[in-house]
Amino acid sequence: MSTEGSYYVPEQSKLPLAAALGMGVMAFGAGSWVIEGGTSTVFLIGAVIMAMVMYKWWSIVIEENTQGIVSDQLKHSYVLGMYWFIFSELMFFVCFFGSLFYVRVLVGPWIGGEAAIGLFDDTATDAAIANATHLWNGYDATWPPLVTPDQAVNGDVAKFIGPQESMSFPGWSQILGWLPLWNTIVLISSSGTVHIAHHALKEGNRKKFNRWLGFTVLLGIIFLFLQAEEYIHAYQELGLTLESGIYGTTFFLLTGFHGAHVTLGTIMLLIAFLRGLKGHFNEADHFGFEAAAWYWHFVDVIWIGLFIIVYVLG
Amino acid sequence: MAHGPSESFFSRWLFSTNHKDIGTLYLWFSFAMFLLGGAFAMVIRAELFQPGMQLIEPEFFNQMTTMHGLVMVFGAIMPAFVGLANWMIPMMIGAPDMALPRMNNLSFWILPFAFAILVATLFMEGGGPNFGWTFYAPLSTTYAPDTVNYFIFGVHIMGASSIMGSINIIATVINMRAPGMTYMKMPLFVWTWVITAFLLVAVMPVLAGAVTMMLMDINFGTSFFDAAGGGDPVLFQHVFWFFGHPEVYIIILPAFGVVSQIIPTFSRKPLFGYSSMVYATASIAFLSFIVWAHHMFTVGMPIAGELYFMYATMLIAVPTGVKVFNWVTTMYKGALTFETPMLFSIAFVILFTFGGFTGMMLSIAAADTQYHDTYFVVAHFHYVMVAGAVFSGTAAVYYWLPKWCGRMYDETMGKVQFWIAFIAFNITFMPQHFLGLAGMPRRYADYGLQFADWNMVSSVGAFMYGGAQLLFLFNVIRTIGWGKPIDDPKVWEGAEGLEWTLPTPAPFHTFSTPPVLK
């Protein structure tokens, strides 16, 4: 609630219009890029505009803060902005987790001709029976689905060929060679290291802050490296691709969007790290870092959900 | 804080950080889109004037129905209410501006780019989106023109605009209220908008997810919406309506807020049941998340699902009924006068309630099998979208325009516009109920001879309604340029609230020093 005399309302700025232009060019460029025969030129021009605008915009915000014209009330606006941004990101993942739930718990059994949830209704619907007898005869609904409905009917000429193997828990005997477990260890540790860095900063121990934040960025990069390794393994050895039916679809979209968010989070932390080296932030005022840390905890929480639902219960 | 509006026209309107200027931009943009979407509607009604194909090709007709819906929902109605929020929320809560003024301008300027991309597809090879504004897969994936990719990325940036705009509104309301402006003292327009903003932040990312899945299915071989790979086209409908049902409340809740400001003013009584209005709005918002599949009764759902979504949907009538009774009770024994904003608001209460009742009919799963995808549905949602959202938006402009520009609109012209709009609206959409009940499907370029009479009546009404909008435009321009100057801060005798303590016309900067409330 407003308690002071004046709230800083910035002067006119060319940046918002430039940012909108960058987004517009990127959107148009992306649209023309994915169409057959399209090129990435326009998209990249938009991305360059966007990158320049973002650099300039945040420079100005940092500048305003060092000049001391940013009141506590304005800082609270930034805090609220970050909270709700993270909430919107959460809802984006809710969309994909919900879709996974729907196809896995309901659609699979329906295509296979069974009743989906026995709780309300344990007889198969007419539609499900018709599916199984007329459309997808021979499809056996299991999760993870290694045979797609298409494959069950059309064999090797099917458009969607299931993977030879899934990414699920391979059993206790092979647990040490299971990459997702290592990824989980790396990412959870990085949430711990960023927490240590945060406390170090609050205590004014800058050396410790720099060290642990740098360590966190490194863990983020290791995670991304392992994730890339996993994808290469999936494509080259397991036949698990975007085209391998609903399992590949949900697996790559969920882990892929998580990976994209880890990339963004790593960049945010890297910027905070570089700013820390330049002597930015102090014990009381370090929201640029704090926001990145919250975002990092958020991607960590999403990973725990992914690890349990996509990998362990996969 | 000393800086006033920029001297140069271009820098004032392109680089603004002022909530009033940005609100004005939103309002003019939305009116331009309203005329464009209206022009698409006129093409549709001209083609449907008589049975048979006379003016356009069926393929183009499909693009018109799609673009009409998209432009009206995302380009006209939503930005109109964001414009009103920009103008009014800081004035109503005693704030100097919006919490994040530069992001505010970014949220606005994304929209012209997004709609330029969307409209440009009409001129590209393959034509624009032709799969209906709900863009169901596989129509929008397997069978869509290549230009669907532009549509997808256009929706992405439009969603980014909505999310940023909403975050700004939430931050403003939480953080910028004047001392003493507790939550339960906030004007209802502010309450409805902060709840709307919450809905937007929650569901816009889901829309982004839906179009992303389309993009992947179209270009990268995934099978979200393809049963051959183990996916399901119905998944699209679930994801879309998980966004889409809250979306229709995103459109109507700010309209509730506007009407809840206007009716007390012209009844010269405080709003009846203020706190019940707040709780009803919150309940409607909550319910909007758990009723989405009532749009999908005929796709093949287990009976338990049909029953659940039917009963849950009917529950919405309870908080909505609370609102309608509160508006009526506010007017009861009030000293009523019928200026143009009040006329539009009363028409809103009556016609929105009518649209609500047809909604109750549609919520009955068994009966919906008959109504689904007929003109009955078209009539239903135009009663809530046009007589609901558009009427209240018009009322809001007439109500606040004198405050904004310090000039009074022409009351006679306003009333004439109201009566033409009210009568023409009912001529257009009332017959569509009959057409739908008789079985005429929506989104078809041609129809059987038995539907000819009511279609002709509906088209005549639509052209009249379009004409009333031009009168509205004329009245607004005339007011801004040549209206009778006024300087009474209150403008309306019965108006209450912080926004009416500011001078008329409202100064460029709102409350540089926060007012103190008792």
Q: Is pLDDT above 60 for B325?
A: yes
Residue B243, token pair as written in the block:
């966004």
Give the amino acid at B362. L
Mean pLDDT across A90-100? 97
> CB of A161 within 8 A of CB of A148?
yes
| Catalytic one of B66, B107, B162, B166 | B162
Q: Which helix (H) or strand (E) holds B304?
A: helix B303-315
Which residues 470-509 in chain B show a CB within 8 A of chain A?
Answer: 509
Tokens, residue B461: 């009404």
pTM given for the model:
0.95
pLDDT of residue B1: 43
Tell me, what's the pLDDT at B457?
98
The Cα–Cα gap between B66 and B147 comes to 13
CA nearest A154 in B: which residue?
Answer: B228
Give the percent of chain B with pLDDT over 70: 99
Mean pLDDT of B367-394: 97
Say if residue A284's pLDDT is above 60.
yes
Query: In sequence order, what are the residues at sequence separation of 6 or more whose Cβ sits closer than 8 angstroms to the Cβ of residue A6?
Result: A71, B1, B96, B512, B513
- Inform me whether the pLDDT recorded for B518 exceeds 70: no
User: Measured between alpha carbons, how far is B459 from B42 in angstroms, rounded to an integer?
Assistant: 8
Q: State which CATH number among 3.10.270.10, 1.20.120.80, 3.30.365.10, 3.40.50.720 fits the domain covering A72-314.
A: 1.20.120.80
Beta-bridge partners for B407: B485
B153 in contact with chain A, both atoms CB, cutoff 8 A: yes
Q: Where do the structural domains in chain B lie, given as residue ranges?
A: 13-500
Confidence (pLDDT) at A118: 55
- Is B260 noted as a catalytic residue in this protein? yes
Asked if B511 and B178 count as a contact pair (C-beta separation under 8 A), the reply is: yes
Residue count (chain A): 314
Mean pLDDT of the region A223-242: 96
Confidence of residue B290 (pLDDT cuts 50, 70, 90): very high
Q: If you average pLDDT over residues A185-202, what whole number do you get? A: 96
Q: Where are the domains of chain A?
A: 11-70, 72-314
pLDDT at site A122: 60
pLDDT of A119 above 80: no
Q: What is the pLDDT of residue B505?
A: 92
| DSSP 8-state secondary structure symbol assigned to residue B486 | -
Long-range contacts of B443-448 (CB under 8 A, 24+ apart): B443/B62, B443/B65, B443/B132, B443/B373, B445/B47, B445/B48, B445/B53, B445/B56, B445/B58, B445/B61, B445/B62, B446/B51, B446/B52, B446/B53, B446/B58, B447/B48, B447/B51, B448/B51
Residues B132-157 have a mean pLDDT of 96
Q: How far apart are CA A36 and CA A23, in angstroms?
A: 22
Contact yes or no for B166/B69 (Cβ under 8 A): no
Residues of chain B in contact with residue A125, where contact means CB-CB under 8 angstroms, are 300, 302
Which residues of chain A does B228 touch, with a Cβ-Cβ cutoff of 8 Å? Answer: 148-150, 158-160
Res A1 pLDDT > 50? no
Query: Is B186 in CB contact (< 8 Å) with chain A?
Result: no
Q: Cβ of A204: how many Cβ atoms within 10 Å?
A: 11
- For residues B53-74, average pLDDT: 96
* Partner-chain residue, chosen from B103, B223, B514, that has the shortest CB–CB distance to A246: B223
ipTM attached to this prediction? 0.95
Please state which of the ranges A79-93, A274-288, B371-385 shows the lowest mean pLDDT: A274-288
Which candidate in B19, B45, B269, B294 is catalytic? Answer: B294
CATH architecture of the domain covering B13-500:
Up-down Bundle (1.20)
- Burial track A128-156 (b if 16+ CB lie within 10 A, e otherwise): beebbeeebeebebebbbbbbbbbbeeee
Q: Cα B309–B315–B316 angle (5° rounding)? A: 100
Confidence of residue A314 (pLDDT cuts 50, 70, 90): confident
Residue B223 contacts residue B186 (beta carbons within 8 Å): no
Catalytically annotated residue among B295, B372, B382, B403: B295
H helix or E strand, kind and range, residue B484: strand B484-485
Per-residue CA distances from B154 to B109, B200, B206 (Å)? 13, 17, 15
**Residue B226 near residue B138 (C-beta atoms within 8 A):** yes
Could you tell me what percent of chain A has a pLDDT over 90? Answer: 73
- Give the mean pLDDT of B407-422: 97
- What per-residue confidence (pLDDT) applies to A116? 64
Cross-chain Cβ contact B205/A88 below 8 Å: yes
Residue A2 CA to residue A73 CA, distance in Å, equals 7
Say whether B109 and A10 touch across the interface (CB within 8 A).
no
pLDDT digits over A7-42, tens only? 888 889 999 999 999 999 999 999 999 998 899 999
The whole-number average pLDDT for the span A265-283 is 95
If you average pLDDT over every residue of chain B, what do you get? 96
**Mean pLDDT score of chain A:** 91
CA B36, B39, B43, B49 dihedral sign is positive
Q: What are phi and psi of B298, to 5 degrees?
A: -100, 5
What is the rounded distance in angstroms from the CA atom of residue B199 to the CA atom of residue B19? 22
A67-94 pLDDT, tens digit each: 888 888 999 999 999 999 999 999 999 9
| Buried residues in B383-415 as b, exposed as e (16+ CB within 10 A) | bbbbbbbbbbbbbbbbbbbbbbbbbebbeebbe
Query: What pLDDT, on a 0 to 100 scale, did the predictor assign at position A123?
Result: 67
The radius of gyration of chain A from alpha carbons, rounded to an integer in Å, stands at 24
CATH tag, A11-70: 1.10.287.70
A107 with B513: Cβ contact below 8 A = no
pLDDT (mean) for B49-72: 96
